[in-house]
């Protein structure tokens, strides 16, 4: 197995970072890797906001639902869907942008943001750094708009903590790979049995790592009973990402 595959198959989120700063050179390399990531139609409608200032990070930690690791991490990167950039390009060519008002547009932005997120993760982990993605930036999206001066047609989709690891975390087991890889056609026939088995596996994992608050996977999905970040739709709409087409 090559080194990249080893790193990817050893991924675990880190929520405890040391005070050691991430060097400018490391950060530039990580961002250069994500800069070359593919985007739909080469739209390049993703922008990164690099937040290193401690006070700034503390504010984001609060907005993200008081996530201590966001305040502790030396580098926090906000991944922004940026249809403002494409709008400027389209206006130059005398065209009018509509895509940002559609479900397709939100999907395109979310996919491309995810590719950038994954690329940043592999790059940072390849340098021995720890990471945690932070969907919590959507907890108070209006707060993020104000804090980061986000103009219309932009939306903070996800964030990423990057730092040197203080306390390492164990690799979290996944559900049977047969529930992930489907050959030729979708097949959910093994899901129930695999979920039963995984509920047991994850409970054993929580016990192994001393987490008495751990729950079975099926129970941990309880937040899916509601829209857990309900401000996304109205704030995205206020930013012009109407999602009505």
Closest to ligand FMN by CB, 89 or 107: 107
The site for ligand FMN, by CB under 6 A, has a size of: 12
**Binding mask 23-62 vs ligand FMN (x if CB under 6 A, - otherwise)?**
----------------------------------------
Q: CA–CA separation, 83 vs 106, rounded Å?
A: 10
Q: Are 112 and 157 in contact (CB under 8 A)?
A: no
Q: What is the DSSP letter of 222?
A: G
Rounded to a whole number of angstroms, the minimum distance from the CB of residue 16 to ligand FMN is 11
Q: Is 223 exposed, middle or buried (0-12, 13-18, 19+ CB in 10 A)?
A: exposed
3-state secondary structure of 162: strand
List CB contacts of 35: < 8 A, sequence separation 6 or more: none
| Phi/psi of residue 155, nearest 5 degrees | -155, 130
Q: What is the DSSP string of 167-221?
A: S--PPPP-S-GGGT---SS---TTHHHHHHHHHHHHHHHHHHTT-TT---HHHHT
Rounded to a whole number of angstroms, the minimum distance from the CB of residue 190 to ligand FMN is 21
Rounded to a whole number of angstroms, the minimum distance from the CB of residue 93 to ligand FMN is 33
Closest to ligand FMN by CB, 59 or 101: 59
Rounded to a whole number of angstroms, the minimum distance from the CB of residue 118 to ligand FMN is 9
Choose one: 11-19, 81-89, 101-109, 201-209; the region binding ligand FMN (CB under 6 A).
11-19
Q: CA–CA separation, 199 vs 133, rounded Å?
A: 23
When asked if residue 12 is in the footprint of ligand FMN (CB under 6 A), the reply is: yes
* Contacts of ligand FMN in 170-189 (CB under 6 A): 172
* Contacts of ligand FMN in 100-159 (CB under 6 A): 132-136, 158
Selected from 27, 30, 59, 67, the binder of ligand FMN by CB under 6 A is 67
Choose one: 10-18, 46-54, 78-86, 141-149; the region binding ligand FMN (CB under 6 A).
10-18
- Give the residue nearest to ligand FMN (CB): 135
Q: CA–CA separation, 58 vs 17, rounded Å?
A: 14
Q: Which residues bind ligand FMN (CB under 6 A)?
A: 11-13, 15, 67, 132-136, 158, 172
């Amino acid at each position: 197995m090559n080194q990249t595959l080893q790193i990817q198959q050893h991924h675990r989120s880190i929520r405890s970072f040391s005070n050691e700063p991430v060097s400018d050179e490391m950060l530039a390399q990580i961002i250069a890797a994500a800069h070359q990531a593919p985007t739909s139609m080469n739209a390049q409608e993703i922008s990164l906001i690099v937040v290193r200032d401690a006070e700034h990070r503390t504010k984001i930690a609060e907005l993200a639902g008081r996530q201590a690791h966001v305040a502790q991490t030396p580098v926090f990167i906000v991944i922004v869907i940026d249809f403002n950039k494409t709008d400027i390009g389209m206006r130059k060519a005398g065209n009018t942008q509509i895509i940002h008002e559609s479900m397709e547009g939100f999907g395109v932005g979310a996919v491309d943001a995810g590719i950038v997120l994954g690329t940043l993760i592999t790059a940072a982990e390849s340098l021995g750094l720890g990471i945690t993605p932070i969907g919590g930036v959507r907890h108070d999206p209006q707060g993020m708009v104000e804090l980061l001066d986000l103009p219309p047609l932009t939306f903070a989709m996800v964030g990423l903590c990057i730092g040197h690891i203080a306390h390492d975390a164990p690799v979290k087991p996944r559900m049977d790979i047969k529930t992930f890889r489907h050959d030729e056609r979708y097949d959910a026939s093994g899901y129930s049995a695999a979920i039963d088995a995984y509920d047991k596996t994850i409970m054993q994992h929580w016990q192994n790592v001393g987490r008495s608050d751990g729950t079975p996977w099926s129970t941990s999905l309880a937040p899916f009973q509601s829209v857990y970040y309900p401000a996304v739709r109205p704030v995205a709409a206020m930013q012009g990402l109407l999602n009505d087409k």
